[in-house]
Structure formats: structure tokens, C-alpha cells
């Protein structure tokens, strides 16, 4: 495909799908040299090199693959796990965590090729536009950010998928998109997300209509318990079933184990940053297992007051990540805090998985604060119950004084 003489240069977060294929050609038409960056986060793809060839055939000045799977898990997902952070108590943030990684990789490429702009395919209705933009602004305040879906002329040219498909046909761009897909999806090694289309109807059971990619419905899981052991070192998972591995290897192994047992299917109506509610379906078998296992190790190794402080911070972390403020002073401080707090969180948990359920078999740690001799309800010499008399009396003192001054009805 012949491209126009360009005086401007942009990197593009490129997937090879319908939207980014159209955006690549549209940017060229706008006079940009386009450098396509396919950030490999473990999303399913038949042939990544074919994706690069497609970008070049469409006129890209360059195209490259950046493998950031291990970085995504090690430096982004695991710290969020250590906070036990879930957006609105449910969502494990698999998509939100990925966006600052993609932006970091794209802006590094921009430095290398001398590009002055960064383009992405996020819409003006969703959260991702904020995540891409905020990350880019923090990493390179001088970068021009191009969001075609916020461009009136672009939307007039492409009011819907049918126009985009026709555009690709005219440009001889091969795409797999059709007009019949009942929902949209996004994948990486942490999770698969589904939204839009038929999922916008709240009276539809999402688990019944989506084609699961990482797991099975709990009722279709094997009718037997499967045990899995997970070992942590300072809050970071380092081994599954006794076998050590890198971060992404651990996630992928747990995805397989959890997926076949129907673990980690999430259905949520969440509050987007832009102000609307959106229904999302998520598959996160590996991360769901890790959250459960990590909490079990913390229960025996984490100081009470420190755990309660962390738990109060968890919603703040989830919101910060969800809104796109990964690269911020607040997040820097929170990450420093959790690194220090997690130092004693080491040990091994054995979990029983059964048809979507996670049941604790055992937990062990050299740093355990659990004292069986002190905790027992049997007779013991470790704890003198007479000491509790004064303790309880002091604890009840404020209530006693208030009760005298402001009597309550009985």
C-alpha cells in the first residue's frame, strides 16, 4: 500500500484487529509515519509475526513485537495482588493493569524511532482512554496523544463497524471482524474480559452467552477435588505444586488449573470513570486462586494492625489503578509501602478446587504468628484468662461513661 509523504511520526498501540488496522491507515492518510507496536501480554494470537506483516503491508513505517508478559505480572499485577485490591470489591483489574504497561512499551519505542505522537484505539465512552492518556502524560508530558474515536471527523467517517469493514475491504486490509459478534472481548495472561452487545441486557445470564476462553462453567468442571499448592516469598508467588517459575509462568499454570475447575468467573455492573455504569464479564482463574492463597498466608504471617491498614488502603489502590493513575506520586508511595509490608508474607498454601469453589487444605510458614498453644480452647499455661478482666473493663469504660450520661432504652 502506497503511503503519503509524511512529516509527522506516531507510534500506535496495535493489535491487528479491526479498529487498530483502520486507525493505522487513517493516520497515514493524515500524514503520519506510523510505527506499529504490538505489546505481547499473553493475548491469544495465531501468528504474531503475521500481525506485523499486516501492519507493514498497510503502510506502517515499522512494526515490532514487545513481550511484556512477565513485566505485567511481576511489576504490576503482583503488587496489586499484595494489596488484595479489587475494584468495587469484585473486579481484579486485569485490563486496567495492562494499559500502563502498553503505554510504557509504546513510549519507549517512540523514543527509539523519534516519534512525537502516541495513538491508541480507545473510545470516548470507556475507561481505557483515560488510562492510556494519563500514563502517557506522566511518562512523556510532551508527547502528542491521538485518540481517533474522540475526533469528530473520524467518527463521521466511521459511525459503525460496517463502515470500518468496508474501509478495510477498499484498502484490501484483511480482517476477521464480522457484524454478527454478540459482544466484544479483550484478553491477556491475567484475564479475559467481555462487554457490550448482548451483555448490555441485565436480564441475560452472561455466563451462559459468552464463549469461555480460559475456563468452564462450574457445573461442567470435573466432579472431583483437585489440590494445588502455591508458595510465596515476601508476598510474591514463586512456585506452583513445588515447581518454581517466573511470574507469567505461574499465572499461566494457575489459569490452566483454575480454568478446568470453573474458578474465577466474574459478573459485575461497574461504575466507569466517565460516569456511566457498564456490565462486564471476566474470566480470571489464575488471579482468583492467587488472591485466595495470598490471603491465607497473610492470615498467619501478617501483623493485625498492618493488615487492617492495608485493607483500608486496598479500595484506594483499586480505584487508583482502575482510573488510570498508575504513574502518580500516590501510587509510588503505595507501592513502596506494600513492598515493605509484605516482607514476612512467605509460606505455602494448599487449596482444594472443586466446581468453582476454593477450600483451604493447609497453610504453613516459617514466619507464622499463629501459636496453637495460645489459641487453644483447651486448658493451657500460655494465656492467663484472669488477665482479661482488667482488659475488658478498660475496653468498656467509654461505653459505660456514655451509658450513664445518655441512657439507652433496653
Residue numbers annotated as active site: 19, 99, 128, 184
Measured from the Cβ of residue 223, the count of other Cβ atoms closer than 10 Å reads 7
245 burial class (0-12, 13-18, 19+ CB within 10 angstroms)? middle
Pairwise CA distance, residues 378 & 357, whole Å? 32
Q: Which letter, b or e, does each residue of 261-285 get, where b requires 16 or more Cβ atoms within 10 Å of its Cβ?
A: bbbbbbebebeebeeeebbbbbbbb
Distance between CA atoms of residues 89 and 111, nearest Å: 38
Question: How many other CB atoms are there within 10 angstroms of residue 302's CB atom?
Answer: 20
Angle at 353 (CA atoms; ends 347, 358), nearest 5 degrees: 70
Contact assessment for residue 288 and residue 93, using Cβ atoms and an 8 Å cutoff: no
DSSP, residue by residue, 111-150? HHHT--EEE----SSSSHHHHHHHHHHHH-TT-EEE-GGG
Give the separation between CA 128 and CA 181, rounded to whole angstroms. Answer: 21
Return d(Cα 335, Cα 341) in angstroms, integer.
10
CB 374 within 8 A of CB 387: no
- Asked whether the CA dihedral 141, 143, 146, 147 is positive or negative, the reply is negative
CA distance 197 to 182: 5
C-alpha cell at 51: 500481525
Picking from 35, 41, 162, the residue whose alpha carbon sits closest to that of residue 106 is 35
d(C-alpha 248, C-alpha 240), whole Å? 12
DSSP string computed for 328-377: SHHHHHHHHHHHHHTTT--EEEEEEEETTEEEEEEEE-TT----HHHH-S
CA distance 270 to 92: 12
DSSP string, 52-65: HHHHHHTT-SEEEE
Amino acid at each position: 500500500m502506497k503511503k503519503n509523504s509524511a512529516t509527522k511520526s506516531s507510534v500506535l498501540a496495535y493489535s491487528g484487529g479491526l479498529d487498530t488496522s483502520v486507525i493505522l491507515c487513517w493516520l497515514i492518510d493524515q500524514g503520519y509515519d506510523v510505527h506499529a507496536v504490538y505489546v505481547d501480554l499473553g493475548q491469544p494470537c495465531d501468528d504474531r509475526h503475521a500481525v506485523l506483516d499486516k501492519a507493514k503491508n498497510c503502510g506502517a513505517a515499522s512494526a515490532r513485537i514487545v513481550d511484556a508478559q512477565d513485566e505485567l505480572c511481576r511489576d504490576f499485577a503482583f503488587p496489586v495482588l499484595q494489596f488484595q485490591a479489587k475494584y468495587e470489591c469484585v473486579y481484579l483489574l486485569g485490563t486496567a493493569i495492562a494499559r500502563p504497561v502498553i503505554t510504557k512499551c509504546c513510549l519507549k519505542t517512540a523514543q527509539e524511532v523519534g516519534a512525537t505522537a502516541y495513538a491508541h484505539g480507545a473510545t470516548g465512552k470507556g475507561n481505557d482512554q483515560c488510562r492510556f492518556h494519563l500514563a502517557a502524560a506522566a511518562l512523556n508530558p510532551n508527547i502528542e496523544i491521538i485518540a481517533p474515536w474522540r475526533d469528530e471527523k473520524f467518527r463521521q467517517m466511521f459511525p459503525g463497524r460496517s463502515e470500518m469493514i468496508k474501509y478495510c475491504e477498499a484498502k484490501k486490509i484483511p480482517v476477521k471482524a464480522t457484524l454478527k459478534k454478540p459482544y466484544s472481548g479483550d484478553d491477556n495472561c491475567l484475564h479475559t474480559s467481555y462487554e457490550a452487545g448482548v451483555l448490555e441486557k441485565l436480564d441475560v445470564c452472561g455466563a451462559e452467552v459468552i464463549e469461555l476462553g480460559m475456563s468452564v462453567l462450574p457445573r461442567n468442571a470435573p466432579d472431583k477435588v483437585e489440590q494445588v499448592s502455591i508458595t510465596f516469598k515476601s508476598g510474591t508467588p514463586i512456585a506452583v505444586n513445588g515447581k518454581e517459575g517466573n511470574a507469567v509462568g505461574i499465572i499461566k499454570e494457575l489459569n490452566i488449573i483454575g480454568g478446568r475447575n470453573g474458578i474465577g468467573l466474574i459478573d459485575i455492573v461497574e461504575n466507569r470513570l466517565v460516569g456511566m455504569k457498564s456490565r462486564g464479564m471476566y474470566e480470571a482463574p489464575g488471579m482468583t486462586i492467587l488472591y485466595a492463597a495470598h490471603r491465607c498466608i497473610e492470615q498467619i504471617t501478617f501483623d493485625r494492625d498492618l493488615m487492617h491498614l492495608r485493607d483500608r488502603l486496598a479500595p484506594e489502590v483499586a480505584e487508583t489503578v482502575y482510573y488510570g493513575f498508575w504513574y502518580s506520586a500516590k501510587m509510588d508511595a503505595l507501592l513502596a509501602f506494600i513492598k515493605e509490608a509484605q516482607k514476612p508474607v512467605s509460606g505455602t498454601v494448599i487449596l482444594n478446587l472443586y466446581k468453582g469453589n476454593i477450600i483451604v487444605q493447609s497453610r504453613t510458614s516459617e514466619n507464622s504468628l499463629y501459636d496453637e498453644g495460645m489459641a487453644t480452647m483447651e486448658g493451657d499455661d500460655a494465656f492467663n484468662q484472669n488477665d482479661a478482666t482488667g482488659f475488658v473493663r478498660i475496653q468498656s469504660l467509654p461505653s459505660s461513661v456514655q451509658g450513664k450520661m445518655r441512657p439507652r432504652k433496653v
